[in-house]
Chain A
């Protein structure tokens, strides 16, 4: 089946530290990959995406590269800020006939950044 696995949190970092949140996936075909961010009390917001192998998605200093050979889409940021504290979700979307259930989300990783 199709699934997304993320590193378990919570992840606690000091401001300006380097961030990596691991994400690996299992899917048939060639899915697109997404990172969403959820700030406290809000819905999920699209952070970045990549639609094919070796694509790099980037936004707000965050980056992730679609690695087909390792089935991974790790999220990175060089210097985190307190305002980056949130829950991060990795997700995939397959293009298939089962289009109602072709989004698969990971369990989420909570990030806390301390000043």
Chain B
């Protein structure tokens, strides 16, 4: 029962470095999401995808890019990391847009930018 898998689980970067966070789901879900979670801020939507080959901006997209080349994978990229991007990043997926369908979350990637 893998569900949603995020890699890596932890990473420390220096300001200006780039990296890619990988999210993989094995539930054949159409919809995938990237959130960031910061103390006192709850969950904030960065980008999302409603199907293979599609992406769209969420609430806080600046400084991030995403790609959904395969249905099961959703990549989040930081081109030039900044300390303000220190956060815990969560990927989620949902089967369809029906209102009864919940989101399924990965365990998160803890990212520190020095």
Residues in chain A within 8 A of chain B (CB atoms) = 30-32, 34, 36, 41-46, 49, 51, 89, 93-95, 99-103, 105-108
A108 touches B42 (CB 8 A): yes
Set of chain B residues within 8 Å of A49, measured between Cβ atoms: 100, 102
* Cα of A88 to Cα of B99 in the assembled complex, Å: 20
> A102, B97: Cβ atoms under 8 Å?
yes
Cβ-defined contact, A102 with B99, below 8 A:
yes
CB pair B100 A42 closer than 8 Å: no
Q: How many residues of B contact A (CB 8 A)?
A: 29
27 contacting pairs across A/B (C-beta < 8 A): A31-B99, A32-B99, A36-B105, A43-B4, A43-B105, A44-B43, A44-B103, A46-B102, A51-B99, A89-B42, A89-B43, A93-B99, A93-B100, A93-B102, A94-B99, A95-B97, A99-B97, A100-B31, A100-B33, A100-B48, A100-B50, A100-B58, A102-B97, A102-B99, A103-B33, A107-B40, A108-B42
B102, A34: Cβ atoms closer than 8 Å:
yes
User: Which B residues contact A (CB, under 8 angstroms)?
Assistant: 4, 31, 33, 40-43, 45, 48-50, 56, 58-59, 90, 92, 94, 97-108
| Residue of A44, A99, A102, A108 with most chain B CB atoms under a 10 A cut-off | A44
> Nearest chain-B residue to A99 (Cβ)?
B97
